[in-house]
Amino acid sequence: MILIHTKKELGDFLADQRRLGKSVGLVPTMGALHIGHASLVNRSVAENDITVVSVFLNPTQFNDPNDLEKYPRTLEADCRLLEECGATVCFAPSVQEVYPEPDTRTFSYPPTDSVMEGAFRPGHFNGVCQVVSKLFMMAEPDRAYFGEKDFQQIAVIRRMVEDLKFKIEIVPCPVIREESGLAFSSRNTLLSEDERRIAANIYQTLKASKLMAGKATVQQTHAYVVEHIEAIEGLRVEYYSIVDGRTLADVDDWSQSEDIVGCITVFCGSQPIRLIDHIRYK
């Protein structure tokens, strides 16, 4: 695997590969890689001749400077994992390389980017679209791989791909979970053992709510999830929304859509650490 830090070097390398007729898969990441990321990389390696994994902690998508400060930075370990997965390139540019001048572009795809994470983290998806569009322009991949853990992010990126007419296939990859059910996330390393155990209740509650959903209304299911999680010491729900899986608009009746997803954000522990998860009801 080669480690590349500049757009020029990446562009030259990929131009050579394309001349040889090679297909390119891109896995955008912010580093602190775990087996959830490894599953995306493995999939790209299986489906493309060349796999580029970007490791870039994108400042424009953090609306909270403390969150950016706390985010784990582990490039050496990341490279070891990418090497094991068979990635071709680790692209780890500096902030100056990606943003030689401030990015003033704005992206707006309501309601997809204005609800849930969009409402609670103003500017977050604008920053995601800024960096992902830049990475798409730098790598010009045939396919790009994103984890379904960030369910809303995939919906926003699909809207951006349509809007900017990128000829890139977006490949969503399933959530990878710890044995307890807790979704793998770079933020999990910031949790203590005890907090990790408590955080497992998030998915356990979502799963239990799926079992009751057939017999209960959307409102009762919503209340069940919020009440159960809030009753656990160390967990606080920021929002829970039951939405149409494509438009992300709220639903108030199970018959309203064939694709219904519950999306949750929970604060865990005293620091606290912000965790997201979701469950597909239909």
- Which residue numbers are catalytic? 37
- The rounded distance, in Å, linking the Cα atoms of 202 and 259 is 21
Answer for which of 24, 87, 92, 128 binds ligand PAF (CB under 6 A) is 128
Within the chain, strands assigned E span 2-4, 24-29, 50-55, 89-91, 143-147, 169-173, 235-244, 260-268, 273-280
CB of 48 to ligand PAF, least distance (A): 18
Pair 239, 116: CB distance under 8 Å: yes
Residue 52 binds ligand PAF, judged by CB under 6 A: no
Stretch of 44-52, 104-112, 128-136, 230-238 lying at the interface with ligand PAF (CB under 6 A): 128-136
Q: Are 81 and 38 in contact (CB under 8 A)?
A: yes
Site string (150-189) toward ligand PAF, x via CB under 6 A: x--x------------------------------------
Q: Is residue 39 a contact residue for ligand PAF (CB under 6 A)?
A: no
Two structure tokens written together for 39 = 């599953």
Question: CB-wise, 144 or 198, nearer to ligand PAF?
Answer: 144
Least distance in angstroms from the C-beta of 60 to ligand PAF: 9
The tokens for 175 are 């959530």
Q: How far apart are CA 2 and CA 90, in angstroms?
A: 6
Q: Which stretch binds ligand PAF (CB under 6 A): 38-46, 126-134, 202-210, 231-239?
A: 126-134
Q: How far is the CB of 213 from ligand PAF (least distance, A)?
A: 28
Phi, psi of 201 (to 5 degrees): -65, -20
| Interaction of residue 29 with ligand PAF, rule CB under 6 A | yes
